[in-house]
Copies of this chain bind each other. A is one copy, B any other.
């Protein structure tokens, strides 16, 4: 049995170097597109602050009740531009209809698969809703793919990701993997937000070729997590450190999840960036706030991100 965190994480708890686009061997196309998101938009210091709007597909318009303005996708774009986000992450339908009006003013991260949450999630899998070629045509700077790590449908899921990855390589399109632990086996082993689950998901994304992985901040260790996870006693910061390390040379985006209070949100940002994340992706936390509040909290997030930048090498 592993009795001390210090032993268990020897080498894990030290300061983690954030992977830089300069150090990771990426194709010119991937670098050029990532450069736009990292240095020409958003905080412009090598960090990312992304605004997603895929909840209309994933959850339905139900999420827009909190702030009915958010039902209007143009509102989201205005928020992204006024709030200086690194990119807006949306599905093909919104991209086709709304992005042309804002093209060039904010990068597009085209989400390439999704599903409704209506039917049973037992075999959870997100079918494709767009193609990498669509992303190229629309001038997107990255694409997003949701992988349900541990789902009984993993065979089809990984195979589809492989095809998307291949096209990303072909077109020089950065690949962002939403790595979500899901399924009854994950539940039996401690749950989707346990350290074991998130840590595994981060690594899977790296192994399968993600350039950026989007994960949730682990909520803790479960007694049902496999050894030695279930013996660890870690702070949230230590857990964040660990999962960032497990993502290796993948940049890490932590998701904001459901709406948080201001203090909780900013504390989360600090923990994530300190752990070595490249940035955060905040949806409901932003567009479920009213316009002014969203801009205000966004500025506070920026203040934190400014302390974690990686300057580009001189040209």
Assuming the contacts A92-B165, A130-B162, A158-B127, asked whether A120 and B152 have C-beta atoms less than 8 A apart, the reply is: yes
Residue on B with the closest CB to A189? B118
CB-defined interface of A239-280 with B at 8 Å, one 1/0 digit per residue? 000000110111000000000000000000000000000000
Cα–Cα, bound, A154→B229 (Å):
34
A71→B155 contact, CB < 8 A:
no
A245 neighbours in B (Cβ, 8 Å): 71
Cα–Cα, bound, A101→B166 (Å):
21
Q: Does A293 contact B (CB under 8 A)?
A: no
A206→B97 contact, CB < 8 A:
yes
Cα–Cα, bound, A61→B10 (Å):
14
A222 to chain B, nearest CB (A): 14
B128→A162 contact, CB < 8 A:
yes
A91 neighbours in B (Cβ, 8 Å): 207-209
B93→A210 contact, CB < 8 A:
yes
Cα–Cα, bound, A203→B207 (Å):
30
Residue on B with the closest CB to A59? B200
Q: Does A100 contact B (CB under 8 A)?
A: yes
* Partner-contacting stretch, out of A62-70, A77-85, A307-315: A62-70
Contact of A25 among B56, B100, B115 (CB under 8 A): B100
A127→B249 contact, CB < 8 A:
no
Q: What copy number does this chain have within its complex?
A: 5
A25 neighbours in B (Cβ, 8 Å): 96-97, 100-101
Residue on B with the closest CB to A60? B200
Q: Does A186 contact B (CB under 8 A)?
A: yes
Q: Does A149 contact B (CB under 8 A)?
A: yes
A199 neighbours in B (Cβ, 8 Å): 60-61
Q: Which of A24, A97, A159, A250 has the most CB of B within 10 A?
A: A97
Cα–Cα, bound, A181→B119 (Å):
11
A208 neighbours in B (Cβ, 8 Å): 57, 91-93, 129
Cα–Cα, bound, A137→B170 (Å):
11
Q: Which residues of A contact B (CB under 8 A)?
A: 2, 8-12, 24-25, 54, 56-57, 60-62, 65, 68-69, 71-73, 91-94, 96-98, 100-101, 114-116, 118-120, 125-131, 133-134, 137, 149-152, 154-159, 162, 165-166, 169, 181, 183, 185-186, 189, 196, 199-200, 202-210, 226, 228-229, 245-246, 248-250
| Among all A-B residue pairs, the 6 with the closest Cβ atoms | A118-B150, A11-B68, A25-B100, A60-B200, A127-B159, A93-B209
